[in-house]
Structure 1
């Protein structure tokens, strides 16, 4: 009697699914909104305050959830290396909020109400659910989740960069987080192709691990798709036409807010 066949898959199978879902993700209504040149470019980034909870939490996700330097696993080591690249981007976000005119004075209580309002409930769930999906997961499953997150970020920042460049031509200001600087470091992958120790596509995984990885990829994309809908609703409900300084407003006055 021949021994049972053990099914082995490659991580390339997971990457192929991520690529397919990434293409679907790029068709979201938010991105159509962001490409509408009849709308003020500032308004097209009007979701910026809405996403604050997740952007500020993302550094902690990298430091305290994705990273595990006690592990000797090569995949986890590659993840750890990546977390040091991603754990400080919130500094750029704060800078852009100020330059875009979103750093408005309000009471601390009102700020908390805004961050934990119903308008931003999906934004908050991103941090909580990503923690649940990855904290105690096998490194290969964690990597699949992070790869899915990176794929969504690559699409999102591709579109924000286009809008930021429009704004830069008006305001003569550089937008680090929403512009080309951030996009340049968002490769769309947690592990670079030239990593000598871990080649993503060549990683093998069992049928069980493959299914767990596929499940987490599905959950991540569903969650981020819901987030885009929340961002779009927020941008449409919060006019921001007059937040920039006068020279910018004068050039954008002929462009409708929404």
Structure 2
């Protein structure tokens, strides 16, 4: 199992070198411009509770892998609410026609966010608990990298606005440890350390980790392309 975890870790630098992370970390750029990716992240952020509840979570067929996954999904359920609260604080909650909001969420500008949801769901939907664990662990690793960068932006905004941001700030980052979140870490760590992976499982795990990188690279690259854009640029209001 250690080889698989190391393979996940080997992607850290690749994620950190993507243009989006460089952009978010650039303190010379106005933090309002850097946080302007928020609307383009909306479909993904708001869909994630469904992915947790209906794709990752399985309360009927529970082994130790699935037990860890289930526990993590319940913790992760709150994040969509955090996103909505920050969206209001950022001044992005403008009144528009419902049809215009739908048009934006299903426009080409949000295509990468939608595809990331579809691709991630397709990857996990019929996977076994071991495979789901690998995908979720790889996903949490890149989540930690993204929210480490976003937290820096949020902290700069707090200095300017006096507002504290939950989803984009340290509160969320503290929940994104880079690993699946469970209460009894010692119990599960012992299980993972002693788990013997077959050659077939290892090969499949590497394939899934590669796939997760490609899914999120596509999303992050699109967020970078849209960085600095605003909803008004899309003539929504």
Q: Is TM-score (shorter-chain normalized) higher than 0.5?
A: yes
| Aligned Cα root-mean-square deviation (Å) | 1.6
- Report the equivalent of 1:21: 11
Matches of residues 154-233 of structure 1 in structure 2 within 5 Å? 154-192=144-182, 195-199=185-189, 200-233=192-225
Report the CA distance between 1:204 and its aligned residue. Answer: 2.0
**Quick one: which of 60, 81, 85 aligns to 2:75?**
85
Counterpart-to-counterpart distance in 1, 2:26 and 2:86? 21
Counterpart-to-counterpart distance in 1, 2:188 and 2:197? 14
SS, match of residue 227 in structure 2: helix
Between Structure 1 and Structure 2, which shows a larger proportion of helix residues?
A: 2
Pairs aligned (count): 230
Contact 1:43-1:235 at 8 Å conserved across structures: yes
Counterpart-to-counterpart distance in 1, 2:104 and 2:194? 45
Q: Say if 1:193 and 1:85 are closer, same or farther in 2 by CA, change over 3 A.
A: closer
Larger-Rg structure: 1
- Report the equivalent of 2:64: 74
Single out whichever of 190-199 and 41-50 deviates more from structure 2. Answer: 190-199
The alignment's TM-score, normalised by the length of structure 1, stands at 0.85
Correspondence 1:45 to 2:9: no
The alignment's TM-score, normalised by the length of structure 2, stands at 0.92
Counterpart-to-counterpart distance in 1, 2:73 and 2:231? 35
Report the CA distance between 1:194 and its aligned residue. Answer: 5.2
Counterpart-to-counterpart distance in 2, 1:201 and 1:142? 18
**Quick one: which of 109, 127, 136 aligns to 1:146?**
136
Q: Which runs of 5+ in 2 are unaligned?
A: 233-237
Counterpart-to-counterpart distance in 1, 2:32 and 2:56? 33
